[in-house]
C-alpha cells in the first residue's frame, strides 16, 4: 500500500519509517527543504536511538522516500497521515490547528482518488470532523474518509513503542476507512497487539485522557514526595509499595523535578481548555498544570537550601538539561526554570548533557558547556543531577567530590542515596521525597 506522511517531526518521521518497515511504500513530505535534503542524505534531524539505521534500511529497499512535493506524494496514496505540529496557541492555551488545517486543504486539492485522511497529530476532540469539512470545501468531488489515529510513542523509546505498542487506537466513521487502517496495521494485528477501532471523538479523547492521566500520576507522586520529606518517609519505597498493586502499576511513579517535554505540558493545557469550552471543567487536570509549575519552583528552593540560602558567587555544575534522557528535546524541560534561577541568583553555571547542547545553547544563553561531568564539577560548589542520563547513573562520586570546591549534590532524579553521597565525601546532599 502507498502511504503519504505529512510532517517529518518526531511523530511523522518515526511513523513514516516504521510504516515502511511494515512493508508499505511510504513518502514523507515536509515543506522544510533543508530537512528533506538532510533526510535524503540519510541524516536524521532529531536524536532518537535506532531511527537512523531503520531509516537507512528502508530507504535502501526503495520503500521509503522524502520529498517537498506534496502532489507527487499523494498521487496513488490510499492513506495520507497528517503529522504536523499542534503547538499551544498563544493566549488561550488551546492547540493551534493552523498546520493541521493547512495540510488538510492541500491534501484535498492534490488528491484525485479515494483516500483516507488520517490525523496522527494530537488534536482536540472535534478536529477530525473539522478536517472533513475543510477537505469537502476545498474539493467537493473528492471521495474520502477521515480517521483519527493518535500516537502514543515516547521520545527516546519511539521505535519500540511504535513497533510493540500497548495498543493502537483508530477512530473511523466508515467500514471502508476501517479496512484501510486495518491493512496498514496488519503486521501489528498479526502479532496480536490490541487494535481498538472506535468513533472519531473517542479516539481523539483517548489520547488526551491518557496523557493527562500520566501527567496526573507523575504529579501525584511528586506531591507525595514533598510530604514524604516532611514526615520522614522515602518516596521510592512508597512508590514501590503502591506500584506493586496491579490496579496502580509501577510506571510513571518516579518523583522528579516536574514533567516536561513536548506533550504533557501542551496536552494537559489543551484538554483543560476544551473542557472549559464545553462547560465541563476538569479541575483535576487544571490543578496538575499548576502543581507541576510549583514542583519546578520547589526544586529551586531545595537547591537554595543546599547552598545555605544563596546562589551568589557559587559555581554550579548541572548534569542533564533535556526534559528526559535519550532525547535532545528541551521543550518545557524543568532545566528551563531551574538553570535561569541559578544564573539569576548570581551563580556561574556549567552544563553537561550528552545531547542537549544543540538546542540548549540558545535556550540557556548564560551558561558554559562541558562534555565531561567531572570537568563540569571542577571547583564547583554544587552538582545538580537534573536528567537521569545513563552517563550520570554510575558516576565515581568520590572523584566528583574531590574535584569540587564545596562538595554538595542536588540529586533531583533520586539516582543516588544520602549514604552514597556521604561515603563519597559530599558534605551536603538532597534528593526528592527522602528526608
Instruction: List interacting residues with ligand UGA (CB under 6 A).
Output: 122, 151-155, 211, 214, 218, 252-254, 256, 259-261, 263-264, 267, 323-324
Is 32 marked as binding a ligand?
no
What are the cell numbers at 218? 507523575
Shortest spacing between CB 380 and ligand UGA, in angstroms: 24
Contact present, 187 and 23 (Cβ < 8 Å): yes
Shortest spacing between CB 398 and ligand UGA, in angstroms: 28
Contact present, 302 and 291 (Cβ < 8 Å): no
What are the cell numbers at 171? 477512530
Q: In what order do the strands lie in the sheet with 428-430?
A: 368-369, 348-352, 315-319, 382-385, 408-411, 428-430
Q: Which is nearer to ligand UGA, 106 or 329 (CB)?
A: 329
Contact present, 36 and 30 (Cβ < 8 Å): yes
Q: Is 255 exposed, middle or buried (0-12, 13-18, 19+ CB in 10 A)?
A: buried
Contact present, 345 and 310 (Cβ < 8 Å): yes
Q: Which is nearer to ligand UGA, 25 or 151 (CB)?
A: 151
Is 153 marked as binding a ligand?
yes
3-class DSSP state for residue 407? coil
Is 331 marked as binding a ligand?
yes
Is 7 marked as binding a ligand?
no
Which residues is 81 bridged to in the sheet? Answer: 5, 118
Shortest spacing between CB 113 and ligand UGA, in angstroms: 31
Task: Report the C-alpha gap between 433 and 431 in whole angstroms.
Answer: 7
Q: Is 263 one of the annotated active-site residues of the chain?
A: yes
Shortest spacing between CB 266 and ligand UGA, in angstroms: 8
3-state DSSP helix/strand/coil % of the chain, to nearest 5 = 45, 15, 40
Which of these, 26, 55, 33, 32, lies nearest to 43 by C-alpha position? 55
CB neighbours (10 Å) of residue 365? 9
Q: Which is nearer to ligand UGA, 149 or 347 (CB)?
A: 149
Q: Which is nearer to ligand UGA, 150 or 407 (CB)?
A: 150
CB neighbours (10 Å) of residue 279? 6
Is 35 marked as binding a ligand?
yes
Which residues is 434 bridged to in the sheet? Answer: 234
Cα–Cα distance list, 278 to 93, 129, 144 (Å): 15, 17, 29
Residue partners of 249: CB distance under 8 A and separation at least 6: 243
Is 162 marked as binding a ligand?
no
- Residue 234 is given by DSSP the state B
Shortest spacing between CB 284 and ligand UGA, in angstroms: 17
Shortest spacing between CB 299 and ligand UGA, in angstroms: 12
Is 97 marked as binding a ligand?
no
Strand runs (DSSP E) across 149-246, as ranges? Answer: 168-172, 195-198
Q: Which is nearer to ligand UGA, 288 or 342 (CB)?
A: 288
Q: Which is nearer to ligand UGA, 35 or 236 (CB)?
A: 236
Is 120 marked as binding a ligand?
no
Is 236 marked as binding a ligand?
no
How long a stretch of residues is the chain? 435
Catalytic: which of 18, 228, 263, 315? 263
CA 265 to chain centre: 9
Shortest spacing between CB 327 and ligand UGA, in angstroms: 7
Q: List binding-site positions for NAD(+).
A: 30, 35, 86, 122, 155, 266, 331
Instruction: Mark the binding-site residues for substrate, compressed into ranges.
Output: 152-155, 207, 252-256, 260, 324
The binding site comprises 30, 35, 86, 122, 152-155, 207, 252-256, 260, 266, 324, 331
Catalytic residues: 263
Amino acid at each position: 500500500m502507498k502511504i503519504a506522511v505529512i510532517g517529518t517531526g518526531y511523530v511523522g518521521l518515526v511513523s513514516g519509517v516504521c510504516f515502511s518497515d511494515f512493508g508499505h511504500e511510504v513518502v514523507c513530505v515536509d515543506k522544510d527543504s533543508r530537512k528533506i535534503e538532510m533526510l535524503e542524505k540519510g541524516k536524521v534531524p532529531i536524536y532518537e536511538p535506532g531511527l537512523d539505521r531503520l531509516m537507512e534500511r528502508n530507504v535502501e529497499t526503495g520503500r521509503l522516500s522524502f520529498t517537498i512535493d506534496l502532489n507527487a506524494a499523494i498521487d496513488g496514496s490510499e492513506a495520507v497521515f497528517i503529522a504536523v505540529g499542534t503547538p499551544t496557541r498563544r493566549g488561550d492555551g488551546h492547540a493551534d490547528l493552523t498546520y493541521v488545517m493547512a495540510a488538510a486543504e492541500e491534501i484535498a486539492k492534490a488528491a484525485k482518488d479515494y483516500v483516507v485522511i488520517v490525523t496522527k497529530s494530537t488534536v482536540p476532540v472535534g478536529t477530525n470532523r473539522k478536517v472533513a469539512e475543510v477537505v469537502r470545501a476545498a474539493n467537493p468531488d473528492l471521495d474520502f474518509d477521515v480517521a483519527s489515529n493518535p500516537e502514543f510513542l515516547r521520545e527516546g523509546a519511539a521505535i519500540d513503542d511504535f513497533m510493540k505498542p500497548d495498543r493502537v487506537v483508530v477512530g473511523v466513521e466508515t467500514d471502508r476507512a476501517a479496512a484501510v487502517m486495518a491493512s496498514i496495521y496488519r503486521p501489528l494485528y498479526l502479532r496480536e497487539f490490541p487494535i481498538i477501532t472506535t468513533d472519531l471523538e473517542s479516539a481523539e479523547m483517548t489520547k488526551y485522557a491518557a496523557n493527562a492521566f500520566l501527567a496526573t500520576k507523575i504529579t501525584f507522586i511528586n506531591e507525595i514526595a514533598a510530604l514524604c520529606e516532611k514526615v520522614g518517609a522515602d518516596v521510592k519505597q512508597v512508590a514501590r509499595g503502591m506500584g506493586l498493586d496491579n490496579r496502580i502499576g509501577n510506571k510513571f511513579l518516579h518523583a522528579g523535578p516536574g514533567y516536561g517535554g513536548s506533550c504533557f505540558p501542551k496536552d494537559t493545557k489543551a484538554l483543560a481548555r476544551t473542557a472549559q469550552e464545553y462547560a465541563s471543567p476538569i479541575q483535576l487536570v487544571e490543578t496538575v498544570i499548576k502543581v507541576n509549575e510549583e514542583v519546578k519552583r520547589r526544586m529551586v528552593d531545595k537547591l537554595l537550601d543546599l547552598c545555605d540560602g544563596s546562589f551568589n558567587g557559587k559555581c554550579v555544575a548541572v548534569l542533564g538539561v533535556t526534559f528526559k534522557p535519550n532525547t535532545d528535546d528541551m521543550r518545557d524541560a524543568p532545566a528551563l526554570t531551574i538553570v535561569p534561577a541559578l544564573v539569576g541568583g548570581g551563580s556561574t553555571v556549567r552544563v553537561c548533557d550528552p545531547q542537549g547542547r544543540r538546542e540548549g545553547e540558545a535556550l540557556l544563553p548564560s551558561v558554559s558547556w562541558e562534555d565531561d561531568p567531572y570537568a563540569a564539577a571542577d571547583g564547583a560548589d554544587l552538582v545538580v543531577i537534573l536528567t537521569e542520563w545513563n552517563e550520570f547513573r554510575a558516576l565515581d562520586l568520590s572523584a566528583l567530590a574531590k574535584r569540587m570546591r564545596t562538595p554538595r549534590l542536588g540529586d533531583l532524579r533520586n539516582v543516588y542515596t544520602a549514604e552514597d553521597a556521604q561515603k563519597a565525601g559530599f558534605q551536603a546532599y538532597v534528593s526528592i521525597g527522602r528526608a
